[in-house]
């Protein structure tokens, strides 16, 4: 089932997500819905808070669904190591129409549980490292605009507030 994506300004996006204590049938169903929602958007990553579920779960697939082996689903993920820096433009399904250049690690190793409860480790460079950090930010109540400073951040936030006031958000 495709779920509605929560947009910037809604409380769920700005709160720290809760640890998943038990991987239940509901968690499995949520993960399936998140994958379907991510592909339909289309996007390369989606965190549970983006569909209104304030728990520590995300899905990533750089192939946009073209290679099922590329799908990563992690419960209670955490960083093991991050290094380097890349400056690339990114957007977010919760901030449609907005992009900005964000500093992120060039390489990241992350661990978490798969849907069977087994611990998994992934190491990514470039776009995958960026996706890990982006989705982890969502689990920590942050969006990419929170990493911006100055005029660029202010401009995006003002434009969003204007769209909210006019009912277009």
| Residues 14-69: tens digit of each pLDDT | 999 999 999 999 999 999 999 999 999 999 999 999 999 999 999 999 999 999 89
Does the residue 92 lie in any domain? yes
| Alpha-helical regions (H) of the chain | 25-40, 127-139, 150-165
Q: pTM to 2 decimals?
A: 0.95
Q: What is the pLDDT of residue 115?
A: 98
Range 121-133 burial, b when 16+ CB lie within 10 A, else e: ebebeebbbbbbb
Domain count, the chain: 1
The predicted structure's pLDDT at residue 68: 86
83 labelled catalytic:
no
- The answer to the question of residue 93 being in a domain is yes
Residue 95 lies in a domain: yes
Q: Is residue 31 part of a domain?
A: yes
Domain assignment present for 47: yes
Q: What rounded mean pLDDT belongs to the chain?
A: 97
CATH code for the domain in which residue 146 is found: 3.90.45.10
Domain membership flag for residue 4? no
Percentage of the chain lying above the pLDDT 90 cut: 99
User: Is there a domain that residue 29 lies in?
Assistant: yes
Q: By CB neighbour count within 10 A (0-12 exposed, 13-18 middle, 19+ buried), where does 109 fall?
A: middle
| Domain assignment of residue 74, given as a range | 11-165
Kindly calculate the radius of gyration of the chain based on its CA atoms and give it in whole angstroms: 15
Residue that has been written with the tokens 């073209």 in this structure: 66
């Amino acid at each position: 089932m495709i779920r509605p994506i929560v947009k910037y300004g809604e409380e769920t996006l700005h709160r720290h997500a809760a640890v998943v204590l038990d991987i239940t049938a509901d968690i499995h169903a949520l993960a399936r819905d998140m994958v379907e929602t991510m592909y339909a958007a289309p996007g390369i990553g989606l965190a549970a808070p983006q569909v209104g579920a304030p728990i520590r779960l995300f899905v990533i697939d750089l192939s946009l669904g073209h290679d099922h082996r590329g799908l990563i689903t992690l419960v209670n993920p955490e960083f093991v190591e991050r290094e380097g820096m890349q400056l690339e433009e990114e957007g977010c399904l919760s901030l449609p129409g907005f992009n900005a250049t964000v500093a992120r690690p060039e390489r990241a190793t992350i661990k978490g549980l798969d849907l069977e409860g087994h611990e998994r480790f992934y190491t990514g460079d470039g776009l995958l490292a960026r996706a890990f950090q982006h989705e982890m930010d969502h689990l920590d109540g942050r969006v990419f605009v929170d990493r911006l400073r100055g005029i660029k951040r202010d401009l995006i936030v003002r434009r969003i507030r204007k769209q909210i006031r006019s009912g277009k958000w």
